[in-house]
């Protein structure tokens, strides 16, 4: 299993003061995280990533917890910042088009 680090900006509000500056996400969590930037629903993410809806929900809960208990909207904003800054490794599954990969 590959682990991917995402930096959380110091100015970003969090519910957990003990959150490390870098969140360690698994490879599958990072794929879900990057797709969150589109604002897609769990069903749309599941279709894009070829996962079940319950698996996507599981990963979203874990991502939110690892990022300090933030809301889904905050996770979407962080994912958009991560994509924009190019600080995340490229993921071929996200560049193939599809409902969740394109602009909304």
Q: pLDDT tens, 72-90?
A: 998 898 888 888 876 544 4
Q: How many other C-beta atoms can be found within 10 angstroms of the C-beta atom of residue 38?
A: 22
pLDDT in tens, 20-31: 567 788 999 999
The pLDDT of residue 59: 96
Q: Residue 42: in which H helix or E strand, if any?
A: helix 42-49
CB 100 within 8 A of CB 48: yes
According to CATH, the topology of domain 3-94 is Arc Repressor Mutant, subunit A (1.10.10)
At residue 96 the predicted structure's pLDDT band, cuts being 50, 70 and 90, is very low
The pLDDT of residue 8: 66
């Amino acid at each position: 299993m590959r682990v991917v680090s995402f930096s959380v900006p110091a100015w970003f509000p969090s519910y957990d003061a003990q959150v490390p500056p870098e969140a360690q996400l698994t490879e599958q969590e990072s794929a879900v995280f990057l797709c969150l930037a589109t604002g897609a629903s769990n069903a749309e993410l599941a279709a894009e990533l070829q996962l079940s809806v319950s698996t996507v929900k599981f990963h979203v809960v874990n991502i939110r917890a690892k990022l300090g208990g933030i809301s889904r909207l905050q996770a979407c904003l962080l994912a958009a910042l991560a994509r924009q800054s190019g600080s995340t490794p490229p993921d071929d599954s996200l560049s193939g088009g599809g409902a969740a990969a394109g602009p909304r």
